[in-house]
Amino acid sequence: MTPSPSSFPNLFKEHPDAVAAIACGILVLLGWQMLNLNWVGLALLILTAAYVIGGFDSAREGLTTLWEEKELDVDLLMIVAALGAASLGLWQREYYLIVDGAVLILIFAISGALEGYAMQRTERSIQGLMGLTADTARIIAHGQEYTVPINELKIGDRVLVKPGELIPTDGLAIEGFSTVNQASITGESIPIEKTIGDEVFAGTINGNGALRLKIHQPPESSLIQRVIRLVQQAQTEAPPSQQFIERFERGYAKVIVVSGILLALLPPFLLNWTWENTIYRALIFLVVASPCALMASIMPTLLSGIANGARQGILFKNGAQLERIGQVKAIAFDKTGTLTTGKLQLIHTLATESSSDHLLQIAAALESLSEHPIGEAIVEAARQQNLSWTEAVNAQAQAGQGIVGEINNQIAVVGKAIFVQTQVKDIPENLINQSQQWEAEGKTVVWVGYNQKVLGILAVADTVRPTAANAIARLKRLGIEQIVMLTGDNSRTAHSIAQEIGVDRIYAELLPEDKVDAIRQLQQQYQTVAMVGDGINDAPALAQASVGIAMGAAGSDVALETADIVLMADRLERLEHAIRLGRRAQGVVQQNIIFALSFVVILLIFNFAGNITLPLGVLGHEGSTIIVTLSGLRLLRR
């Protein structure tokens, strides 16, 4: 369908580089045709317009860099070469040289438009996050429903999210049950069940149930907003390799200009070249020796890698970390909440005379009155088994020891062995032996007594993440030399978990500053060391590590802000993908640099052999730039 006239302003606004390149191409063809008809005056006028339209942006950028930074860049070199060709054409009345200069401008403009399009593809993959934020929210106040802008929401507001709607801001569910598609945040395609007490995130999609939320933090602090800010920051920060190339370009451009001047002056005296041929070869030299392809070798690749990671729940805060993660030789993991779930669960039960159900019922009756994590694990286990219990009365808790109360007019007690033994007559030997074995494995043992008898013991522990052992095995196969666990927990528990998941080295009973010292020791041995953690106490170690990696969904705000990479889905296996992505990025960057430098050398050889024209030189130069840019976009593929 032919675009309407009203669509052209939008086209120009959205793709000005492409419009300028098309206009320049049309004018070059017209100018060349006018020369064929020998209408020289009209041809020069049309070609002048082609120079202005096609070269305006490059001239502006080049002159701005020269004026503000006192540096030469490739844009200015291209304009100088084109104007040189035009001047030579006017001087020698070889007007087709002016066409050569115009073709140079045209190809440079087309290259800029294609590079812009390639970069837009990368940016669209990242900035798609911006479309995940709602503009308004539906709040409930004084029994009425109101629609308000997101920026007017306050902590404590009640928000209603209907089935199928985009969740407008982070909040805690206070009513309702639903499944929520969190793929935009975590990369997980399977919807997650949400009910009272669960946190939901802005930018995720509600399922079939209605949810009422209570806002517990300002909308601008929502997880999706933090991700957007971090991604925007990543796009503006140049990694070390890019900074090196930019410094190299400044010095290189000066060398090219000086060499170009010498090439334009010396060959007539040293090699008996004609002045026309000398200046023409010097102009071609300015074009083919410019480091455009070298400059395009890095950032498109790294931004593509960042976009790839973002689609799969891996947030790289800048390109430097994408480069560095591929160089990691050792990885240190925090234990609680990283290698483990961070949530206590009932692991074992051992009853004496009564059944396991009765044992768990008595324990739950007392622990339901406690807010201690161990008690919560016991109560949750009883609920999962659909057990009911008689409510305990006259309960009294002793901090760090246990709880005693009455159930059906009988004394019930739950807690540590010494505490329970004060309320019972004798302790079975088999319970003592089993308790010692479980404690040796790093589990917390809870004793239960009722009516002056020991009913049995329960073992509670923070369970290992189901994917932890497999993730660590895959990292070892990937070539990671050392897997280390850092924990503030006791050595016995640490060794038990390390043995289960295959960790190489353990540092236990650590304070936050001790974790930093451990990272420093690893860096002395392995240079590039990653640290994976989720808590506030991990933040100093995350900052010290060569690459700090935070577990996103469970991680504290401090850990998320300090880390260089965030695993949004809390899936350790994504770490392997991050490392592979970093290594792929390194490989593509190296390939691009080698290709760019090789192509410059080849074009220079052809130039001095006299076998290349200015348009062919431009085509080769800009073609190599486009090739390395498109090569970098390979990382957009999964």
- Can you read off the two tokens belonging to residue 463? 């369970």
Number of H helices, E strands in the chain: 24, 22
Between CA 573 and CA 245 the distance in angstroms is: 33
Between CA 143 and CA 141 the distance in angstroms is: 5
Catalytic residue among 73, 334, 534, 570: 334
Helix (H) or strand (E) holding 412: strand 410-415
Task: Tell me if 296 sits within 8 A of 241, measured CB to CB.
Answer: no
Task: Tell me if 414 sits within 8 A of 447, measured CB to CB.
Answer: yes
DSSP character string of 129-198: GGGGS-SEEEEEETTEEEEEEGGG--TT-EEEE-TTPBP-S-EEEEEE-EEEE-HHHH---S-EEE-TT-
DSSP character string of 484-540: EEE-SS-HHHHHHHHHHHT-SEEE-S--HHHHHHHHHHHHHHHSSEEEEE-SGGGHH
- Planar angle of CA 429, 430, 433, nearest 5 degrees: 90
Nearest Cα residue to 456 out of 349, 351, 346:
351
Q: Is 564 noted as a catalytic residue in this protein? A: no
Between CA 55 and CA 109 the distance in angstroms is: 7
Task: Tell me if 298 sits within 8 A of 241, measured CB to CB.
Answer: yes
Between CA 102 and CA 21 the distance in angstroms is: 11
- Can you read off the two tokens belonging to residue 150? 């997101």
Between CA 415 and CA 424 the distance in angstroms is: 13
Q: At what angle are helices 74-92 and 275-288 packed, to 10 degrees?
A: 160
Cα Rg of the chain (Å, integer): 34
Task: Tell me if 337 sits within 8 A of 551, measured CB to CB.
Answer: yes
Between CA 585 and CA 607 the distance in angstroms is: 33
Catalytic positions, written as ranges: 334
